Amino acid sequence: MTDTPGLEVDRVVKRFGGLQVFHDVSFSLRPGEVLGVIGPNGAGKTTLINVLCGRFPPSAGSVSLDGKSITGLPTHRLARMGLVRSFQQTNTFKSASVRENLSRALRFSGAPMRVVERVDALLRQFDLHPRLDEPSDKLPYGLQKMLGLLLAYATGPKVLLLDEPAAGLERRERTLIDAFVAAARADHGCSVLIVEHDMDLIRRLCPRILVLDAGHLIAEGPPAEVLARRDVIEAYMGLSDEDEAA
């Protein structure tokens, strides 16, 4: 991991008409770092990913990658530059087989042989190898999500944005996300931003986390410290002064 930020977010704001989703959000994500973004429902976490990946332009502020502005660039251009996202829901080429899904992603990236070999290893680890010739939309939900993660990995990202990767997964599948993140960092040297409600996963994978609440960045730091803060507990639990005095 270097001291030079790979992804820099500077005072980003997002509004939809009169609704302001988040306000003056700033942070850096260094190459090779794993950063968690947490917060209660409606905090603006998924909208933040949508802005970073180019689905929505920011209303104000700037985003840069490797020192170059990427503010407002569309998703397909950012993917070519190495900024790739996964989705809460499954996102594959639905009528195509598992094999063809991965072939398309690998052709897109021109991946070297070591990445092709790693994809094969992860296919086996994720229990997808016996299903290579099945249509992806016929897979069980958990396997569709794991395939979606592999498609993001196979594009050779510099920055990987994971939007609730553990949602809907069984316990064993959730622990496989650890292997996926480790492979992406080892083979691509990429940084990973994880939006997630699974706090066990966040504690395992993220040395640093950010907390959004009602569109404001209210805390940043190591999980043990941040999750013990009174304002973070209040954001999640809605505690009042009377609750704490009781």
Does the pLDDT at position 246 exceed 70? no
| Nearest alpha-carbon partner for 162 in 206, 109, 126, 120 | 206
Angle between helices 171-188 and 141-154 (to 10 degrees): 10
- What CATH code is carried by the domain that includes residue 101? 3.40.50.300
Region 56-65: mean pLDDT is 95
Residue 193 within a domain: yes
Helix (H, G, I), strand (E, B) or coil at 52: helix
Residues 79, 120 contacting (CB under 8 angstroms): no
Region 80-90: mean pLDDT is 82
Residue 233 within a domain: yes
Per-residue model confidence as pLDDT tens digits over 214-232? 889 999 999 999 999 999 9
Domain enclosing residue 172, as ranges: 7-245
Residues 38, 230 contacting (CB under 8 angstroms): no
Per-residue model confidence as pLDDT tens digits over 98-110? 989 888 888 776 6
Region 124-129: mean pLDDT is 88
Query: Is 184 exposed, middle or buried, given 0-12, 13-18 or 19+ CB atoms closer than 10 A?
Result: buried
Does the pLDDT at position 114 exceed 80? no
Residue 176 within a domain: yes
Q: What percent of the chain has pLDDT over 90?
A: 54
Residue 84 within a domain: yes
Q: Tokens 């398309």 identify what position?
A: 104
H helices of the chain, in order, are: 45-52, 75-81, 98-109, 113-125, 141-154, 171-188, 199-205, 223-226, 230-237, 241-245
Exposed e or buried b per residue across 10-40, where buried means at least 16 C-beta atoms within 10 angstroms of its C-beta: bebbbeeeeeebbbebebebbbebbbbbbbb
**Count of all residues that appear for the chain in the document:** 246
The two tokens of residue 137 are: 């939309």
Residue 207 within a domain: yes
Confidence of residue 35 (pLDDT cuts 50, 70, 90): very high
Phi, psi of 218, rounded to the nearest 5 degrees: -105, -15
Per-residue model confidence as pLDDT tens digits over 167-186? 888 888 888 899 899 988 98
Residue 2 within a domain: no
Residues 6+ apart with CB under 8 A from 194: 34, 35, 36, 37, 162, 165, 181, 201, 202, 205, 206
> How confident is the model at residue 115, as a pLDDT?
74
Residue 51 within a domain: yes
Residue 72 within a domain: yes
- CA dihedral sign, ordered 232, 28, 85, 132: negative
Q: Tokens 């990202």 identify what position?
A: 157
Q: What is the pTM of this model?
A: 0.89
Number of domains in the chain: 1
